[in-house]
Amino acid sequence: MHFLDDEGERGGDVWPAALAMENFAPEFDLKTSESCQVRRLLARVEQYDRTTWLMQYESFLQQALCVVRSDSTSRRFGLLHADMQGFQVLNRIYGERAGNSMLRAFAAFLRRREEYVCGSRIFADRFVVLFAIPDGYSLQAITDKIVAEGEQFLAEKRRLHPRSHLAFVGGVCPVEGRPESLHSLVTRADQARRSLKPTLRSRGGVFTEAMEICRLQRQSLYEDVTKALEHGGVFFLLQPQVDIATGAVVGAEALARMRTPDGTLIMPGNFVPLLEESGDITGLDFTIYGQVCQYLQARQRAGKALLPISVNISREHFRNPAFVDDLHALVQSYGLEPRWLGLEITESVFVKNLEEISESVRQLKQYGYSIWLDDFGAGYSSLNVLKDVPFDVIKIDRGLLGSGAIAPTNKSIITSVVRLAEDLNMGVLCEGVENASQREFLSRLGAIQAQGFLYARPMSPDNFTSLLEGGKKLLPAGEEAPDA
Ligand code: C2E
Ligand code: MG
Ligand code: MG
């Protein structure tokens, strides 16, 4: 059966709009024998998406599997997972009707294709299509063709909504042998789609085994992180911060670690992005803040001198209007003065919503926290941030130091940052100091602090306590580092 789509064109394997529920009178008796056929028809209607009249995902999976498994020709099949980048913007600017119309047109574009077998709209603007690979085409070649024609189709539609830009994005996966189910292959096509770099141009990609390895690693990491969270395997290490001139330890940074019950250690480079994505990073941060406060409180109660400890503040906190007060309440509950806590906020956090975040930062500063600009120089540094936010310390990113001698351009940048910080009455700490030549250069710049493997690696709080109690200095300027 066919129906006329928005553009008056005939679609493929779709259900007539005339069969929509509202076209049946309420007095229609579904119990009579004549109505049995209608009930079956209605049940079929339920298998279709009312916007595009493509199959619902479950029905698609069944039908596509049936086609693939019963095919007696030598046809090769592939799955396409496609979406339109920029669709949400179109929806926002032109409204739901225009959005739905675009979805129908997109569905019609897919359905009209020669290689189309069957398809479904999974949700929003996400579509999946089973297609037959035409003879003489590789999977990559047919993908390129679909993408090129998809781009052309979207370019033609542009006249209808000139203020939005759409790009065709498609991931493709081969269907080989006689699979038991197609769901995992749809996931693979989706992986290929997600692996594509976001650009304004249309693009397509074919699934590779490397993507599968990556997915498995991610899944295993996710399981490890979940186990560690469930079993309280979150803890922190302290990396000393040193006055370059004297070698005195002046503070430390708390760095989070996770350990699974079977002893696997997970580093922040692995778990932070994962928890940022899942929204659990703020919970982890507060666990660390609580542990750091507990450490400081224990020293305070034992009558020992305190040194400021800095903690990392994830960008996610600034979405929560109660963050500043929650943090302050936590610190107060341990009977600590805010000045013992440094708050490291990475530079990129300020790229978006500078004003709102600056306001929270000002409030934190008013409470008495010391505010640190972390990773300065790692991304696109903006002097606006320094102008608008009253930082106490700028932490120069370790990328500017590099791993050997500091590059001449980077030396000029570091020198300028140190001068600027002096003018703005801010302190400077250089992170990632790894060798004597870096330290020599930095020591000539004035009163700055350093943190890096040359001085000490992150260590347990107990070892940090011993370091403090031993009163040991860590490599004052001019002193030779022992051979590694
Ligand atoms: P960061 O805040 O810039 O922390 C400094 C990182 O540089 C730490 O890595 C530290 O071990 C490493 N590092 C220090 N000195 C050297 C050196 O001389 N050479 C080299 N190559 N590396 C050095 P780590 O502990 O793996 O932490 C990585 C990042 O994870 C941190 O960067 C921070 O952005 C994030 N992170 C760590 N702990 C937390 C936390 O509790 N919460 C949040 N939200 N993020 C955290
Ligand atoms: Mg940091
Ligand atoms: Mg840093």
Q: Which of 242, 255, 281, 442 to mutate to test the pocket of ligand 1 (most atoms within 8 A of CB)?
A: 255
Residue identified by tokens 């056929």 is 37
- Could you say which ligand is closest to the alpha carbon of residue 239? 1
Q: Count the alpha carbons within 13 Å of 75 in the hemisphere toward its beta carbon.
A: 17
**pLDDT value of position 273:** 93
Looking from the CA of residue 311, the nearest atom of ligand 1 is: 41
Give the bridge partners for 243, in sequence order: 449
The whole-angstrom separation of Cα 459 and Cα 305 is 19
| CA neighbor of 449 nearest in space, from 249, 173, 176 | 249
- The finding on whether 269 has its CB within 6 A of some atom of ligand 1 is yes
What pTM, to 2 d.p., does this model score?
0.76
* Mean per-residue pLDDT pooled into runs of 10, the chain (484 residues): 36 43 48 71 80 95 96 95 96 95 97 97 96 96 97 95 95 95 96 91 96 91 93 97 95 97 95 93 97 98 96 95 97 98 93 87 96 89 84 95 92 94 96 95 93 97 95 77 54
- Smallest CA separation from ligand 1 atom 17, residue: 432
- Smallest CA separation from ligand 1 atom 21, residue: 432
Separation of CA 212 and ligand 1 centre (Å): 28
**pLDDT value of position 384:** 81
Looking from the CA of residue 458, the nearest atom of ligand 1 is: 11
Using alpha carbons, list the distances in angstroms from residue 21 to 13, 16, 50, 101.
Answer: 19, 11, 11, 21
Separation of CA 452 and ligand 2 centre (Å): 12
Separation of CA 255 and ligand 1 centre (Å): 6
Distance in Å from the first CA to the final CA of the chain: 77
**pLDDT value of position 13:** 40
Separation of CA 199 and ligand 3 centre (Å): 29
Domains of the chain and any CATH numbers: 53-207 (3.30.70.270), 224-470 (3.20.20.450)
Q: Is 410 helix (H, G, I), strand (E, B) or coil?
A: helix
- The finding on whether 256 has its CB within 6 A of some atom of ligand 1 is yes
| Chain center to CA of 55 | 31
- Could you say which ligand is closest to the alpha carbon of residue 347? 3
- The finding on whether 312 has its CB within 6 A of some atom of ligand 1 is yes
- Could you say which ligand is closest to the alpha carbon of residue 376? 3
| Chain center to CA of 157 | 31
Tell me the two tokens of residue 225: 């992180």
Looking from the CA of residue 313, the nearest atom of ligand 1 is: 44
- Could you say which ligand is closest to the alpha carbon of residue 235? 1
Separation of CA 429 and ligand 3 centre (Å): 10
Using alpha carbons, list the distances in angstroms from residue 475 to 114, 247, 479.
Answer: 72, 5, 6
The whole-angstrom separation of Cα 479 and Cα 425 is 29
Residue 350 DSSP one-character state: G
**pLDDT value of position 29:** 55
Characterise 161 by phi-psi region: left (phi > 0), alpha (psi -120 to 50), beta (else).
beta
Per DSSP, the residues of 181-220 read -SHHHHHHHHHHHHTS---SS-EEEE--HHHHHHHHHHHH
**pLDDT value of position 19:** 46
- The finding on whether 344 has its CB within 6 A of some atom of ligand 1 is yes
**pLDDT value of position 6:** 39
Alpha-carbon Rg for the chain in angstroms: 30
- The finding on whether 205 has its CB within 6 A of some atom of ligand 1 is no
Separation of CA 249 and ligand 3 centre (Å): 18
CB 82 within 8 A of CB 131: no
CB 458 within 8 A of CB 414: no
Separation of CA 312 and ligand 2 centre (Å): 5
Per DSSP, the residues of 226-291 read HHHHHTT-EEEEEEEEEETTT--EEEEEEEEEEE-TT--EE-HHHHHHHHHHHT-HHHHHHHHHHH
How many C-beta atoms surround the C-beta of residue 163 within 10 A?
Answer: 9
Separation of CA 219 and ligand 2 centre (Å): 27
Looking from the CA of residue 268, the nearest atom of ligand 1 is: 30
Separation of CA 311 and ligand 3 centre (Å): 11
